[in-house]
Amino acid sequence: MNKVAGVYLLGGITIVSEIPLPEIPLVQHSQATPHPVSVYLGNVPGPPPDAIALDPDCFATATYYFLRIPGIASYQVTHGREILVEPEAGALRLDVRAYLLGTLFVVLCQQRGLLPLHASAVSGGNGVVAFVARSGQGKSSLAAHLAQRGFHIFGDDVCLIDTRTEQPMVIPAAPWLKLWRNSLQMLGTDADGLERVFSEDDKYRLPLQNVLSSEPIRRVVFLESSEQSLPELEEVTAIEAIPLLMNLTHQSYVLEATGQREESFLRCSRVSSEAKSYRLFRPWGLRYLQPTLDLLEEFLLGE
């Protein structure tokens, strides 16, 4: 490593980086966790012959991942330990970091045996509830409004779960919430002074001050849109929940393509066996937000 810009912590993983990462907390070397990750700047070679082409700019094996974002950077993740970054000429550092802390971090976690769900997650002190859905379904906004009601945010878009422990544990991985300008306005927060997620998007990182320890996953809520006038929760069986969780795992297509479907199944089945699962049917529209939050608050505080 040439020159360390900082030692950081994200999702319980120490990151020793040649790239400054102002979005995530700095830590001291003495606070480093086992098996830290190294982030290097350098020339990213082409993929090895055994790598599977996921698309013309993305290749993978079970322990290797290559991604090129034209105009931004090329990235390589290996063995859950190293990330190599080669920015393109003229690329904005903000955009280079956005992919590094997003897609590349998710793949790194998969290589380390963790389960990164497409979910925001909150806790009221008796375990974590994950709100699982694809992007654009309001996961971050729900978490933000529940935080205003006193709940702690554990994950924003990525709910990171370690299924290798006696109980599947959610690792705090939310130093920020990523929110569109109109969502910030609904919270009474001004976007001015906040950093954009990507340079050309009207989406911003709202910093959080959470200092949390891992907690067990207690409930999983799959978000569904509905035309009915009131929100409603419906229980989902553990067997039904497994394929839903597999499908809503970040970068699930990488696991499928590289022969890791069994590992994905085992991780998701551990979660479904320990956490009760539900569907939340909710109507769209601001006038339905408060009834949804009232229902969820009662649900989260219940046993």
Query: What confidence tens digit (pLDDT) does each residue in 162-182 have?
Result: 999 989 999 998 788 899 998
- Indicate the CATH number of 115-174+210-301 among 3.40.50.300, 3.90.228.20, 2.30.40.10, 3.30.70.990: 3.90.228.20
- Residue 246 has φ and ψ, to the nearest 5°, of -60, -45
CA separation (Å) from 154 to 40, 122, 130, 180?
28, 5, 9, 19
Express each pLDDT in 92-107 by its tens digit: 999 999 999 999 999 9
Question: Considering the chain, what percentage of its residues have pLDDT values greater than 70?
Answer: 96
Query: Would you state the pLDDT for residue 303?
Result: 59
Query: Would you state the pLDDT for residue 301?
Result: 85
- Residue 49 has φ and ψ, to the nearest 5°, of -60, -30
β-bridge pairing 215-226 and 276-283 = parallel
Domain boundaries, given as residue ranges, for the chain:
6-111, 115-174+210-301
Residue 73: which H helix or E strand, with range?
Answer: strand 73-78
Closest by Cα among 18, 15, 17 to 33? 15
Q: pTM score, two decimals?
A: 0.92
Q: Could you tell me if 46 and 58 are in contact, meaning their C-beta atoms sit under 8 angstroms apart? A: no
User: What DSSP string runs through 7-68?
Assistant: EEEETTEEEEESS--TTS-B--GGGPPSS-EEEEES--PPPPTT-EEEETTEEE-SSEEEEE
User: What DSSP string runs through 123-147?
Assistant: ESSS-EEEEE--TTSSHHHHHHHHH
User: What DSSP string runs through 230-262?
Assistant: S-EEEEE-HHHHHHHHHHTBTTHHHHHHTT-HH
